Structure 1
Amino acid sequence: MCEQALIIDSHVHLDNIRRKNPDRIAWMRDRHIIPISWAFADAIASVADLRNYLREQADFIEQMNREGLKCFFLSGVHPRNIPPDLKPEAVKDLVAPFLEKRYCLGIGEIGLETGSQREKEILAAHLDLGKTVKEMGKRIGIHTPRNNKEEMTGELLSLLAGWPEIREITVVDHCTPETTGHVLKAGLRAGVTLSAIKTTLTELGQIVRAHSGDVSRIMCNTDSGTVFYEDIGELAVSDEFPPEIRRRLTFGSANEFFSVSSYQ
């Protein structure tokens, strides 16, 4: 089905879609949309909770593939999911087993929310797995927060500079007209989340015009979960963008980065 896909939604939370918007599973399947589900749980109080969630996430993605929805996932500890008993040195043993799963494309959703020292330590523990992730041909997906986005993106890029070897396998997501250029200049891929509360199609147009030579390094998504957004579908048919740009933003860039078409 990869060859027929119209869209790769490069960042969703498919488990939350199934829970809150179950009809959208068939909706995506019928439209040959391939979702990539990043790890994020509603409530994590302990490492045990986190381990159970990551196991359930992997099992759920396998189930969805058996039921006919081609989909993939990233595994990791979202900055809002860091439990008080998680030690940085425990991150490897927690996350690494899931990298072996058939439909796992790498690590994510990791990053910064408030920029606290603890968040940075947990993020660094994930990034220390970068050499292994790269050798496995997998990828890293990074979260940037809605609040203080420019400041947090700057802190994140400064931190990522300490791992130059993973630059080519890393996408920094939720980029905006104000932050996309900084991410691209750092040699990273930029993810743009399309919705009324994150980045609109009008703002995406600003990004494309400002970075027309780097569109191959920009991929779009909806970050759909408890709320489902159709904005990437609207982009796919929008007359505001040339067909080749629409195809690149909704399929080509994500397909080349995540190598989705290589999975049978």
Structure 2
Amino acid sequence: MNSLQPEFVDSHVHLDLVYAYRSDRIEWLRQIGCLPISWAFSRYVGSVADLKVNLNAQQKAIHTIRSTGLECFYLTGVHPRNIPPDLVPEKIADILAPFLEDPVCLGIGEIGLEFGGQQEKEILAAQLSMAPEVSRRKKILGLHTPRNDKQQITQEILSVLEDFQPWCSSIVVDHCLPETIEAVLKQGFWAGITLSPVKASHEDLDQIIKHHPEYVNRMLLNTDSGSKFNEDLYRLYLSKSYPDDIQMQLFRENALQFFGLMHLNNPQL
């Protein structure tokens, strides 16, 4: 693939679902210069067998999309809403490790907690236990926080992450809001902000930047688009609402740095 410097990065999208439900958007993303990072999520997982099929299908979809000319990458992992009843923590590494061999796979995500139950916590811990190997490979981990009970569940996630502080530069906690982002940033993690009608707004982002200007270099923006597609990030990018240095950090540089893709700033080299 002949890589072009991206105009901006969507740091969290479900590109396989976009491809399945809104295939016209793949060419649109290419035309506007968006570099999407696809995170793992499936609409249905009833068993470990389903999980394996879906993760392999995601990998195949991303490679197929790349063959159309859209530069994109993906994360693999077990989303907290995709944990089948027959999955045990001891099997996590065997399921996920093969994907880390793929250079198009940038790490593990979307992992995290949805309701904070015991199985969720065990599966999260098992995936986080791969952090040393993920970091050794210069890859990352992406964590989900839920819409409901966001502050409480975010605190539970941060409590779990206390044992993984040595790898904080390789971990992003996503779907942050003004009321949750400070704790994430102060513990040294990267913070994802999802711009969509049901998550963070332009006004939320303005508030975050106003109150935490010293942490702008660890903020990642995204849409979390999947079967439903959001243009909020693109519209905000076009608005040029921020000074040039902040605009560049928020929409491109931070994400390229975090995901280890800075070479795409000078793709001709």
Structure-1-length-normalised TM-score: 0.97
Q: How does 1:19-30 map to 2 (within 5 A)?
A: 19-30=20-31
Structure 2: which amino acid aligns with 1:119?
A: E
1:212-254: CA deviation from partner (whole Å, max 9, x where unpaired): 0110000100000011111111121224322221221111110
Give the unaligned 5+ runs of structure 1: none
Alpha-carbon separation, structure 1, partners of 2:22 and 2:11: 18
The answer for the alignment partner of 1:76 in structure 2 is 77
Residue in 2 that maps onto 1:57: 58
Distance in 1 separating the partners of 2:205 and 2:155: 21
Shift of 1:262: 3.3
C-alpha distance in 1, partners of 2:217/2:3? Answer: 19
CA distance in structure 1 between the aligned counterparts of 2:32 and 2:241, rounded to whole angstroms:
22
Supply the distance in 1 between the matched residues of 2:153 and 2:3 (Cα, whole angstroms).
35
Aligned to 1:118: 119
Q: Does 1-10 or 75-84 show the bigger shift?
A: 1-10
| 2:43 equivalent in structure 1 | 42
Secondary structure (helix, strand or coil) at the match of 1:55 reads helix
CA distance in 2, matches of 1:44, 1:141: 20
CA-to-partner distance for each residue in 1:44-82, whole Å, 9 max, x for gaps?
A: 000000001111111111111111110000000000000
- Between the aligned partners of 1:129 and 1:7, the Cα distance in structure 2 is 29
CA contact (8 A) 2:240 2:247 kept: no
1:2 Cα shift? 5.1
Aligned length: 264
Do the aligned partners of residues 45 and 215 (structure 1) sit closer, same or farther apart at CA in structure 2, a change above 3 Å counting? Answer: same
Asked if 1:94 is matched to 2:80, the reply is: no
Letter in 1 for 2:19: R
In the TM superposition, 1:50-199 aligns within 5 A as: 50-199=51-200
Give the aligned residue type for 1:237.
Answer: L
Give 1:3 deviation, angstroms.
4.8
Q: In 1, are the aligned partners of 2:40 and 2:55 still within 8 Å (CA)?
A: yes
Contact 2:109 2:142 in 1 (8 A): yes
In structure 1, the partner of 2:34 is: 33
CA distance in 2, matches of 1:110, 1:4: 29
Q: What percentage of aligned pairs have identical amino acids?
A: 47
Cα distance in 2 between the residues matched to 1:94 and 1:85: 13
1: distance between equivalents of 2:240 and 2:77? 37
Deviation at 1:261, TM superposition (A): 3.5
Aligned to 2:108, what secondary structure does the other structure show?
A: strand
8 Å contact kept, 2:7–2:34: yes
Distance in 1 separating the partners of 2:102 and 2:196: 31
1:78–1:110 CA contact under 8 A, matched in 2? yes
Match of 1:207 in 2: 208
* 1:50 alignment partner, SS class: helix
- Provide the rounded CA distance (Å) in 2 between the counterparts of 1:75 and 1:262: 22
Displacement of 1:165 after TM fit?
Answer: 2.0
**Please, what is the CA RMSD of the aligned residues?**
1.2
Q: Which amino acid aligns with 1:53?
A: N
Q: In the alignment, which residue of structure 1 is the partner of 2:250? A: 249
Shift of 1:21: 1.0
Spell out structure 1 runs of 4+ moving beyond 3 A. Answer: 261-264
Q: TM-score, normalised by structure 2?
A: 0.95
Partner SS for 1:162: helix
Cα pair 1:7 1:251 within 8 Å, conserved: yes
Residues 143 and 174 in structure 2, CA contact (< 8 A), matched pair in contact too = yes
In 2, Cα distance between equivalents of 1:244 and 1:2: 24
Task: Please report how far the alpha carbon of residue 96 of structure 1 lies from its aligned counterpart in structure 2 after TM superposition.
Answer: 0.7
